[in-house]
A = this chain, B = another copy of it.
Amino acid sequence: MWQLFYFPLCPFSRKVQLVLSEKKVPYTLQLAYPWEDDDRFHALNPAGKTPVLHHAERRLVLIDSQAICEYFEETESKSPLIPGSAAARAEVRRLTALFDDGLYGDVTEPLIYEKMKKRLILRQSPDSGVLRAAMRLTHEHLDYLDWLIDNRRWLAGAQLSLADFAAAAQLSVIDYLGGIDWSGHEQSHGWYRVMKSRPSFAPLLSQKMEGLPAPRHYADVNA
Contact = CB atoms under 8 A, between A and B. Distances in A.
A70 B89 contact: yes
B102 A90 contact: no
B89 A74 contact: yes
Contact of A67 (B68, B71, B75, B93): B93
A90 B73 CA distance: 11
Nearest to A72: B86
A121 interface: no
A180 interface: no
B66 A86 contact: no
A93 B74 contact: no
A43 interface: no
A94 B46 contact: no
Contacts of A56: none
Interface in A165-215: none
Interface stretch (A31-39, A57-65, A110-118, A128-136): A57-65
A70 B93 contact: yes
Given A60-B87, A74-B86, A101-B101, 8 more contacts: A46-B144, A47-B98, A62-B94, A64-B98, A66-B66, A67-B94, A70-B90, A71-B90
16 contacts: A47-B98, A47-B102, A62-B90, A62-B94, A63-B94, A64-B93, A64-B98, A66-B93, A66-B97, A68-B90, A70-B90, A70-B93, A71-B89, A74-B89, A75-B86, A101-B101
